[in-house]
Amino acid sequence: MTVGDWSTLLSGIIYGSECSSMESTQDNGNLANVRHIILVMSGKGGVGKSTLSTQIALALRHAGKRVGILDVDLCGPSIPRMLNAVGKEVHQCDSGWVPVYVDQEKTISLMSIGFLLDGQDDAVVWRGPKKNAMINQFINDVAWGELDFLIVDTPPGTSDEHISTVQALRPFKPMGAVMVTTPQAVAVGDVRRELTFCKKTGLAVIGIVENMSGFVCPYCSECSNIFSKGGGEELAKYAGVPFLGCVPIDPLLSKSAEEGKDFIQEFPNSAAYPALTSIAKLILEKAALTI
């Protein structure tokens, strides 16, 4: 299926000439100039994959990197809202779709099915083959231009979307997956299954993040472990993969996600800031090793 076929199927794509600076190397495709591809995954829904994808991207961007985000959560695309990009339009050029630039400097770009739907209440009610075709289009036909990092936000579980994403990315040798869990045993169990998925599909695991790991009181800085603590670190030890850190529950983080604010820039003194920037730093160190 060609780009043109999809553009008649889905509204919201504008034909334009915005991509003069982003022509891809014809031989290698649109990901030719993307240095590191990172998937953000979890066996469980609602654990903070999109939040972490967004914040890791912002932290890498504030570290001076060019970053793209690909939202392959077809049924629940939440990143446009988190980056204040709802209602923006995807354009089309000779080499494919031009992603939406979130900032004026064009250092952070985003592609999401959210940009292709008529309205915010539209639902994607597709069977596997159509979802797979869409994911292949997202991976092969978005003209990302030069990026240091492409962060791929995935839906929960180990479904068709995951298999298609990993298969389509394989030729581009992704750096690996960041696994997100919450501290509870049920979430940790689901992430254990996700680790098995990575093993079976040959996807490296960059490390595990424990999100919503305690609540730091803004008044006295006391940490209450609302959902228990330590499940992520234990799982990392058990699986023999790096533990990337604990991100606490931070009301400023959820408020920023709701309002599309740049949390990393606006709240450097908040509870979640040190953990998020430390995760980005670990990713940068790991990327330096794999250049």
DSSP 239-265: HT--EEEEEEE-HHHHHHHHHT--HHH
How crowded is the C-beta side of 63, counted as CA atoms within 13 Å? 20
- Binding residue for ligand SF4 (CB under 6 A) from 105, 118, 123, 219? 219
33: how many CB neighbours lie within 10 A of its CB? 16
Q: CB of residue 222 vs ligand SF4: minimum separation in angstroms?
A: 4
**Strand spans (E) along the chain:** 13-15, 34-41, 67-71, 90-93, 96-98, 100-101, 108-112, 147-153, 176-181, 205-216, 223-224, 243-249
Exposed e or buried b per residue across 222-237, where buried means at least 16 C-beta atoms within 10 angstroms of its C-beta = ebeeebebebbbbbbe
Residue 98 pairs in a beta bridge with: 91
Give yes or no for residue 110 binding ligand ATP (CB under 6 A): no
Count of residues interacting with ligand SF4 (CB under 6 A): 4
Choice between 4 and 218, CB closer to ligand SF4: 218
Q: CB of residue 75 vs ligand ATP: minimum separation in angstroms?
A: 9
Binder of residue 278, out of ligand SF4, ligand ATP, none (CB less than 5 to 8 A by kind): none
Choice between 141 and 194, CB closer to ligand ATP: 194
- Region from 5-13, 229-237, 252-260, 283-291 binding ligand ATP, contact rule CB under 6 A: 252-260
Whether residue 217 is annotated as binding a ligand: the answer is yes
Residues 176, 14: Cα–Cα separation, whole Å:
33
- Binding residue for ligand ATP (CB under 6 A) from 19, 58, 247, 280? 247
What are the binding residues?
Answer: 43-50, 217, 220
List residues binding ligand SF4 (CB under 6 A): 217, 219-220, 222
What are the binding residues for ATP?
Answer: 43-50
List residues binding ligand ATP (CB under 6 A): 42, 45-51, 73, 76, 78, 155-156, 211-212, 247, 249-250, 253-254, 257, 272
